[in-house]
Amino acid sequence: MNKNIKIKRLILGPVATNCYVFCDTARKKAAVIDPADKPELIYRTAEDEGCDIELVILTHGHYDHIGGLKGLKSMTGAPVYCHINGVDVLGDPRKNCCEDIGGRIETFAADETVEDGDEIAFGDQKFKVIYTPGHTIDSMCLALDGMVFCGDTVFCGSVGRTDLPTGDMATELNSIKKKLLVLSDETPLYPGHGEATTVGYERKHNFYLR
Ligand SMILES: [Fe+2]
């Protein structure tokens, strides 16, 4: 990994969602993946590394990944990226599950939509979009510098639940096998919940992927 890159993980919100603050300390800019809650803390985490938040990316629109989105947007003005199918998910409290928690989270439309294979520029680096539907119809992973932020598609030893609106297990397993397990064993995976893992570890140990 580029020595100027620091990845800070914050565990936020009611179901311990991972928010990643991806800091380029040379350029003094940060990208936030899944602003789950506590926008002030996310902002301060970037600031502690001397970085301004330049962009925000959502791996999908579920309520527990967007709880800090509105606050962070108003603090930074940074553009928000989601998969094109996320427009529908973000706009529908049933699909993003905000309805299930009594509508306590105000949803927020993304500024930019992306699709499989698109690249989101972050300085001279690029987050490559890997569309991985299954957990939700808008689930995507983001690859940069040999690592992958994989949202709720795959976890260390498990996979994302598919019993919520737009979820489908066969689609999810197909996404993981066709889009993630084709990567090299050493590829780090940074999931939306729990500890980081690698493609090789999941290939070998993940019960769902046998
Ligand atoms: Fe989710």
Average of per-residue pLDDT across 106-112: 87
Average of per-residue pLDDT across 35-54: 98
Decide: 112 and 80 in contact? Cβ < 8 Å: yes
Decide: 195 and 62 in contact? Cβ < 8 Å: no
Q: How far is the CA of 63 from the centre of ligand 1 (A)?
A: 8
Q: How far is the CA of 191 from the centre of ligand 1 (A)?
A: 11
Q: How far is the CA of 26 from the centre of ligand 1 (A)?
A: 32
Q: Which CATH fold would you assign to the domain 5-209?
A: Metallo-beta-lactamase; Chain A (3.60.15)
pLDDT at 99: 87
**Which residues lie near ion ligand 1 (Cβ < 5 Å)?**
62, 152
Comparing 49-63, 86-100, 167-181, 189-203, the range with the smallest average pLDDT is 86-100
8-40: pLDDT as tens digits: 999 999 999 999 999 999 999 999 999 999 999
pLDDT at 104: 75
By percentage, how much of the chain surpasses pLDDT 70? 100
pTM across the whole model: 0.97
Strands, sheet with 147-151, edge to edge from the N-terminal-most edge strand? 119-122, 125-131, 140-144, 147-151, 188-191, 197-198
Rounded Cα distance, 30 and 21, in Å: 6
Helix, strand, or coil (residue 209): helix
Rounded Cα distance, 100 and 70, in Å: 19
Residue 151: strand pairing partners: 191
